[in-house]
Amino acid sequence: MRILVVEDDPGIAAQLKRTLEDADYTVDMANDGEEGHFLGDTEPYDAVILDLGLPVMDGITVLERWRADGRSMPVLILTARDRWREKVAGFDAGADDYVAKPFQMEELLARLRALIRRAAGHATSVIECGPLAIDTRAGRVSVNGEPIKLTGHEYKLIAYLAHERGRVVSRTELTEHIYDQDFDRDSNTIEVFVGRLRRKLGNGLIVTERGLGYRLVDDAEQPESSD
C-alpha cells in the first residue's frame, strides 16, 4: 500500500514515515500544501495523511482541489485537538476520517487500515482468497492455515493484489503502489516478486493475463504462464 504524508512538522513527519514503513507501507512525503497537492494529483495513492495547518497551501484547499479534480483516495486529516471547526471543514471538503494532535501512532495506523479496507470493500482486517489469508493488521500471510514468511516487498505486492482481488492489475500499477516515486519503474522486479510468491504460495493463486498484468483468484485456477 502506498501512502502520501503531507506534514510540515519535521518531528511528526519523521515519526509518521518511520512508523508507516515499519508497518510495510510505501511512503511518500511532502512538507507543504503545494507539493502535497501536486503529488496527490499526479501519483496513485491508496490513502493520504494530510495535516491541515500547512504552509504555502492549507490542507483544506489541498483536499478541496483533489476532490474537485476527481481524486477519490481516502484522506485522513490531522488537526489540533481544540480546532473543532477544522474538523468540520475537513469533512465538508471531503475527508474520510481525522486524528487529533497529539495522537497515538497505534490509533492512526488502525484508522488508516480501516480507511483502506473500506475503500477496497473489505469489512475486516483479514482478506481471504481461497486457501490464502492475509491479516492486514498483523501483516501475516498464511496458506491453508500454515504461516508463510514473506519479504516486505513480497507482502506489499500480495496485499495489493488481495485488495484488488479479481481485477487485473498491471505491472506499472503494482510498481507504483509498492515503491516510492523515485524508483525506476522500468525495472522487471515485479516479475521476480511474482515468481517468488508463486513458489511460496502455490502457482494457482496469481494468474498472468498476457499483456495486461496479474490478478488474484479464489480457486486453484492455473495461470497461462509463469512470467
| Mean pLDDT (whole number) for 127-154 | 89
Q: Which residue has the higher pLDDT, 64 or 179?
A: 64
| Mean pLDDT (whole number) for 68-83 | 87
| Mean pLDDT (whole number) for 131-145 | 89
- Write down the pLDDT at residue 3: 96
- Write down the pLDDT at residue 223: 41
| Mean pLDDT (whole number) for 213-220 | 75
Q: pLDDT band at 225, cuts 50/70/90?
A: very low
Ranges of each domain in the chain: 2-120, 126-216
126-216: which CATH number, 1.10.287.70, 1.10.10.10, 3.40.930.10, 1.10.540.10? 1.10.10.10
**DSSP character string of the chain:** -EEEEE---HHHHHHHHHHHHHTT-EEEEESSHHHHHHHHHHS--SEEEEESS-SSS-HHHHHHHHHHTT----EEEEEETT-HHHHHHHHHHT-SEEEEES--HHHHHHHHHHHHHHHHT--SSEEEETTEEEETTTTEEEETTEEE---HHHHHHHHHHHHTTTS-B-HHHHHHHHS-TTS-TT-SHHHHHHHHHHHHH-TTSEEEETTTEEEE-SS-PPPS---
Q: Which residue has the higher pLDDT, 137 or 161?
A: 161
Residue range 9-36, pLDDT digits in tens = 999 999 999 999 999 899 999 999 999 9
- Write down the pLDDT at residue 81: 61
| Mean pLDDT (whole number) for 201-207 | 86
Domain 2-120 has CATH 3.40.50.1820: no
| Mean pLDDT (whole number) for 157-167 | 87
Q: Which residue has the higher pLDDT, 195 or 227?
A: 195
| Mean pLDDT (whole number) for 193-222 | 83
Q: What average pLDDT does the chain have?
A: 87
Is residue 83 scored above 50 in pLDDT?
A: yes
Is residue 204 scored above 50 in pLDDT?
A: yes
Is residue 53 scored above 80 in pLDDT?
A: yes
15-19, 40-44, 65-69, 216-220: least confident range = 216-220
